[in-house]
Amino acid sequence: MIVRQLEEIVGTESDVQAPTFASRRFLLRRDGVGFSFHDTPIHAGTETLIWYANHVEAVYCISGEGEIELIDPGKTHKIGPGFFYTLTGHERHLLRSEKGMRMICVFNPPLTGQEVHDKDGVYPLIEDEEESSEVPA
């Protein structure tokens, strides 16, 4: 069993700061459970281009408001508490929030820890075998 508290993550290397969001990473590849799990505040007044070409992400909004615009086909959904999405086709999208919002995100394959978006909003796929992939007892 793994037990973690947000206060243990904030301010550590598992709290990755991007220009438009923070990503507090509760579970990473080294935890060996097959996905990573993030608590992600999206900063107010931001727009983020995202293209998870190498990952599938599931996202659940727990507070705040914003919108997601799929680039092709162009379609926009309002986001608020209780709104969930997953990008099954690795769709490029824009995430916007005027007032800020807080998202719970799951990635498969799991992030290794320090990934940051490249200029296209992509996280690299890191496939080295250095870390354990065993599920902890």
122 binds ligand 9YT (CB under 6 A): no
Closest CA relative to residue 106, chosen from 47, 52, 42, 60: 60
* 28 scored as a contact of ligand 9YT (CB under 6 A): no
- Here the contacts of 129-133 (C-beta below 8 Å, separation 24 or greater) are 131/29, 131/30, 132/30, 132/32, 133/29, 133/32
Burial of 85 (0-12, 13-18, 19+ CB in 10 A): middle
- 112 touches ligand 9YT (CB under 6 A): no
H-helix segments, 13-119: none
Q: Which of 38, 55, 92, 96 binds ligand 9YT (CB under 6 A)?
A: 38
- Binding ligand 9YT (rule: CB under 6 A), the pick from 28, 35, 57, 92 is 57
Instruction: Give 10 or 134: the residue with its C-beta nearer to ligand 9YT.
Output: 10
Look up residue 57 and give its amino acid. E
Give the residue, chosen from 105, 110, 112, 122, that forms a contact with ligand 9YT under the rule CB under 6 A: 105
23 vs 112, beta carbon nearer ligand 9YT: 23
Binding site for ligand 9YT (CB under 6 A): 21, 23, 38, 40, 50, 57, 59, 95, 103, 105
